[in-house]
Amino acid sequence: MQRAQTYRYCPQCGGPLALASLKPGEPPRLRCGACHFVLYLDPKIAACTIIRVENRIVLLRRAIPPAYGRWVIPGGFVDVGEAVPHAAAREAWEEVRLRVAIGPLVGVYSYPQVTTVVVVYAAEVIGGRLQAADEALDARLFAPAEIPWQDLAFSSTRDALQDYLRVDAAALPPLRPATP
């Protein structure tokens, strides 16, 4: 989580930043004492995909903090100037080596005190082969009944999967019997 205190110097001139009340009713802002530049702390945008392969969903185990070792849908931060759906498809390739076509928006997820806004799309595989790649310990397909709800990385992971399954449940084909 970003905290205002972590930034001490002005990115424009190197002068000292200090919290200042600029408008009533708004939080204090970091302002440079030398050039008066105001550093606004904006949210970061993450773009993610729920990739369905037949009746299962792609999850990967995170190989980096935060939430090291927990399961998450493929996704990552949008680069400045990059279209959000493009970032979602790029991350799917980087993390699980699947080429995907981006489908409908599942939802946009944000929470108090959390500095990342998560945009989640449904996606379909158009190429590649599932494997754990960048920042992933493992990558697997999960039937809805197998999703490790207690071991998911983030609130947004849980909420997006719930929203996706709620809307899509009627369309999901019945599960295949487990093979012995």
Contact 74, 51 (CB under 8 A): yes
**Rounded to an integer, what distance in angstroms lies between the CA atom of residue 115 and that of residue 110?**
8
| Binding status of residue 131 toward Zn ion by CB under 5 A | no
Q: Which is nearer to Zn ion, 18 or 105 (CB)?
A: 18
Write the Ramachandran bin of 54: left for phi over 0, alpha for psi from -120 to 50, otherwise beta.
left
Segment 61-66 long-range contacts (CB within 8 Å, at least 24 positions apart): 61/132, 61/136, 61/137, 61/138, 61/139, 62/135, 62/136, 62/137, 62/153, 63/132, 63/135, 63/136, 63/137, 64/135, 66/153
* Footprint (CB under 5 A) of Zn ion, residues 17-56: 32, 34-35, 37
Return the range that interacts with Zn ion (CB under 5 A); candidates 14-22, 62-70, 115-123, 127-135.
14-22
- In the bound state with Zn ion, the residue whose beta carbon lies nearer, of 34 and 45, is 34
Binding range to Zn ion, per CB under 5 A, among 11-19, 64-72, 126-134, 157-165: 11-19
CB-nearer residue toward Zn ion: 11 or 148:
11
Rank residues 34 and 67 by Cβ distance to Zn ion and give the closer one.
34
* Residue 14 beta carbon to Zn ion: minimum distance, rounded to whole angstroms: 7
Q: Does 10 interact with Zn ion (rule: CB under 5 A)?
A: yes
Would you tell me which residues interact with Zn ion (CB under 5 A)?
10, 12-13, 15, 32, 34-35, 37
